[in-house]
Amino acid sequence: MSVKLNYNNVMFAKVGKHGIKREELEQMRQLAKQARAKVEASRGADMQGWMDSPYNQAEAVGRIVETAAKIRNECENFVVLGIGGSALGAIAVFNALKHLYYNELPREMRKGPRFYVIDNVDPERMNALFDIIDVSKTVFNVITKSGATSETMSQYLIITDLLKRKLGDKASRHIIATTSSNKGNLVKLAKENGFETFYIPDGVGGRFSVLSPVGLLPAAVLGIDISELLRGARETDELCKSDDLNVNPALTMAVIQYLLINKGCNINVMMPYADSLKYVADWYAQLWAESLGKERDLDGDVVNAGQTPVKALGVTDQHSQVQLYNEGPFDKVITFLEVNSFRSDIVIPQGCDGFADVNFLCGHTLAELTNKELYATRYNLTKRGRVNFTLSLDSLDEYHLGSLIYLLQLCTAYEGALLNVNAYNQPGVEGGKDATYALFGRNGYESKAEEMNNAPQDSAEFIV
């Protein structure tokens, strides 16, 4: 297995009363088996098309690789326009696998275009992009399944207007659409304008889309081996077809979180000890929060389910958040991400012979320092009875990252089944969207506008 789960430090024997007793874990085996069976029963159906992603994309991967090679040769910049799941996966893969200062490298070292993701509608951010790129030398990948995402379609309109004014009939060559094949606005616009188009399978939602063309095209443009990403996912999926908690790490993680949620751990901290995995924690935060944070369960009962994800970064957040984790409320479980073998290292040189409190570092490496600080943080948390577990990667490459991504997606699906919630909808998000449409006077949202107009107004008494 390319990703190993070590959950010793959630067990009662290690952390005491806030941990999980062996008999509690044993009592979960039947419920875990049922949860896995429930997920498997919908494999490839409804919104679980993502489970087929490691297996059924040979044709799409061929087209992606061909298109990516052309983009790498012909353009200076590749820009993703998307938000949420249409952006976070691409950002996570880019930062995990490419040079941490990729865009600052000279072209001969990058061997591909500079890469940007515009996943917000802050006007300063969009204008700042135009200050550093030449749109005539840029390909824009517009990603929205519905083609009605306000943020992404606003970006699309700005970009197409700019391209048409600058390039005329050649503008369409600079846009690639990633969208639904059979519904929505973007696929219609793509056909009308002749955009090259990649399709998001119907059963793949945004936060589960990184191993679809949503994430695979940007990755391939960057020179990432997407076949290896999918191989890592595929091998993890095969392993997790067991319902044995001693074999299936994704199921075991889900059971651990379920038991800890019931013990009051309503905060889930992901803390990678590698800068390259920082944005995996960002991607995971959406996956976990949007999938599991639900007011009602599948029986219609009000349950207000969920666990709040928090992003931290080792070693950086040892000097900020870890104080709280060690001495604050017992409401958190820490998920460490560990890389056993870094892709490069630096020896700490001699130079402080007269300073014993510095000299002990000399001759060691930064990789040693990083992983020893992880061990020390984990040890201290455990000593204080703070539950934590570790996902360890032998190294960080396409295969291991694909394995990690799929493992976390599968764990989320299992957790949804254990909590008896729909892990694939987001009604809490839709309310904000509807209110935005009403504020802009969009047809069909008149009742929402009236509701908002009649809402209690802010009182000056409470504004200082």
- Among residues 118, 111, 198, 98, which one has the least CA distance to residue 401? 98
Strand partners, 118: 81
Strand partners, 463: none
Q: Give the span between the Cα atoms of 409 and 229, in whole angstroms.
A: 14
Verify cis geometry, omega within 30 degrees of 0, for the bond prior to 315: yes
Beta strand 196-199 with 175-179 is: parallel
Contact indicator for 291, 357 with CB cutoff of 8 Å: no
Q: Give the span between the Cα atoms of 433 and 294, in whole angstroms.
A: 17
User: Which listed residue (14, 38, 433, 448) is catalytic?
Assistant: 433
Q: Give the span between the Cα atoms of 36 and 17, in whole angstroms.
A: 28
Q: Give the span between the Cα atoms of 337 and 314, in whole angstroms.
A: 9
DSSP state of 137: G
Q: Give the span between the Cα atoms of 271 and 312, in whole angstroms.
A: 5
| Token couple for 283 | 């991607």
User: Which listed residue (18, 151, 174, 290) is catalytic?
Assistant: 290
Instruction: Please count the residues of the chain.
Output: 464
Residue 111 annotated as catalytic: no
Residue 191 annotated as catalytic: no
Contact indicator for 438, 445 with CB cutoff of 8 Å: yes
Residue 23, Cβ neighbours under 10 Å: how many? 9
Strand order of the β-sheet with 114-118 is 114-118, 77-81, 138-143, 175-179, 196-199
Contact indicator for 206, 215 with CB cutoff of 8 Å: no
Q: Give the span between the Cα atoms of 133 and 166, in whole angstroms.
A: 13
Burial class from Cβ neighbours inside 10 Å (0-12, 13-18, 19+) for residue 431 reads exposed
User: Which listed residue (192, 319, 327, 461) is catalytic?
Assistant: 319
Query: Coil, strand, or helix at residue 142?
Result: strand
Residue 290 annotated as catalytic: yes
Residues with catalytic roles: 290, 319, 433
